[in-house]
Amino acid sequence: MDTERIAENLNRVVESVRNAERKAGRKEGSVKLLAVSKFHPAEAVIAAIGAGQSAFGENRVQEAYEKFNKIYEDFPSAELHIIGTLQKNKAARAVRIASCIESVDRLGIIEELEKQCAKIDKSIDILLEYHTGEASKAGFLSYENMYEALRYCAEGNAPHIVPKGFMTMAPFTDDEIAVRKSFVSLRDASEKLQKEFPSFDLTTLSMGMSADYKIAIEEGSTEVRIGTAIFGERETAAL
């Protein structure tokens, strides 16, 4: 683990995100950087915090729970988003450590998150993950299912759940057209659903990873999730 290397990488990524915003004619600072620290130790997260980063993404609740309980002792304002598929039996821990669950992919998980949030009287932000490419099997498979999930929330069934927008993973391919298509379909779905549910602010579009964030920013991303370009290669399989 190399503190200096992480700081350098982070500065380079932040600079590159700002450049991509400029090139795409986006407002400066309109794209948030989520540093994905899965499979990297607490010390790597602390190095990134030292270099000015505040928001992190983890995809396994158990790993995140141990790591971030330690980190919060010294850095209580660190922000954690869960970005990996969530099992119901992990929801209680997830709502305790995270401020946002980006990988909501079914109505059942919204019900469980609501139940767990109600117990500790905490509200949590969620993004609906939309399956737009073949990178993973995760995510809502259809627009209609996302509509139903938002309607469930809009009808007041989940008062502790705050829908904030959408997340997707583009296919892992060099085919730029396929990647772009995936991002465009998330943006299109988000625009339609925002019109259907004007009482929610569904403006977060979490799309773009180390390999494809520049394309994502061109297509309207408001949050990029970057791991490898900041923390280096992971030793364990990524997903």
Ligand X SMILES: *Cc1c(COP(=O)(O)O)cnc(C)c1O
Which residue in the set 109, 169, 179, 215 belongs to the binding site for ligand X (CB under 6 A)?
A: 169
Q: How far is the CB of 159 from ligand X (least distance, A)?
A: 27
Question: Closest distance between ligand X and the C-beta of residue 170, in Å?
Answer: 10
Listed ranges 9-17, 112-120, 178-186, 222-230: which one lies at the site for ligand X (CB under 6 A): 222-230
User: Which of the residues 9 through 38 are near ligand X (CB under 6 A)?
Assistant: 36, 38
Size of the site for ligand X (CB under 6 A): 15
By the rule CB under 6 A, 226 interacts with ligand X: yes
Pick the stretch among 48-56, 90-98, 144-152, 205-213 that binds ligand X (CB under 6 A): 205-213
Q: Mask: binding to ligand X, 38-77, rule CB under 6 A, as x and -?
A: x--------------------x------------------
CB 64 within 8 A of CB 71: no
**Which residue(s) pair with 182 in the sheet?**
none
Q: Exposure of 102 by Cβ count < 10 A (0-12 exposed, 13-18 middle, 19+ buried)?
A: buried
* Site track 83-102 with ligand X (rule: CB under 6 A), x = hit: xx------------------
**Pairing of β 124-129 and β 161-167:** parallel
Please answer whether residues 94 and 86 qualify as being in contact, where contact means their C-beta atoms are separated by less than 8 angstroms.
Answer: yes
As given in the structure block, the two tokens for residue 191 are 């625009």
Does the protein bind ligand X through residue 207 (CB under 6 A)?
Answer: no
Distances (CA, A) of 43 to 70, 74, 235: 10, 12, 16
**How many other β-carbons are positioned within 10 Å of the β-carbon of residue 70?**
15
Residue with tokens 């490419």: 133
194 contacts 202 by C-beta, under 8 angstroms: yes
Measured from the CB atom, the residue of 55 and 118 that comes closer to ligand X is 55
Can you tell me the distance from the alpha carbon of 5 to that of 149, in angstroms, rounded to the nearest whole number? 42
Give the binding site for ligand X (CB under 6 A).
36, 38, 59, 83-84, 169, 209-211, 225-228, 238-239
